[in-house]
Amino acid sequence: MSNACALAVACAGHGLEEVIEGFKAAGDDYSYIMAEALADRLAEALAEKLHEVVRRELWGYAPDEQLSVDDMLKVKYQVGGVRGAGCRSGSQLARWGLAIVLAR
């Protein structure tokens, strides 16, 4: 994943509220629903990619894992049962993961 792509995905929701309010003010329900859905899907995709990098490369508890998208959605990956030292929340882990992806 390129740095530019990771940054674009991570920032997909930035300013979303203003975009949605503009669509709502214009009476464009379809566009505001699609904007919300797109931002949500991009966030989910980034979370899945970061999870894969952690499982396969960083913590290495599943280095040979080769899952299809369908298998990942069915949560067929090996769960390591650990989280980063000092990690108090999912959002903190996401920030660390984003920093790792951008540093590549």
* Average pLDDT over the chain, rounded to an integer: 74
Residue 31 vs residue 71, higher pLDDT: 31
**pLDDT tens digit sequence for 65-81:** 887 778 777 776 666 54
Task: Indicate if the pLDDT at residue 38 is higher than 70.
Answer: yes
Which residues form the domain of 71?
3-103
Domain count along the chain:
1
Helix (H) or strand (E) holding 23: helix 16-25
Tokens of 15: 């300013």
Between CA 82 and CA 97 the distance in angstroms is 15
Q: Contact, 56 vs 65, CB < 8 A?
A: yes
For the chain, percent helix, then strand, then coil, each to nearest 5?
65, 0, 35
Task: Indicate if the pLDDT at residue 25 is higher than 90.
Answer: yes
pLDDT at position 45 is 80
**pLDDT tens digit sequence for 81-92:** 444 444 445 556
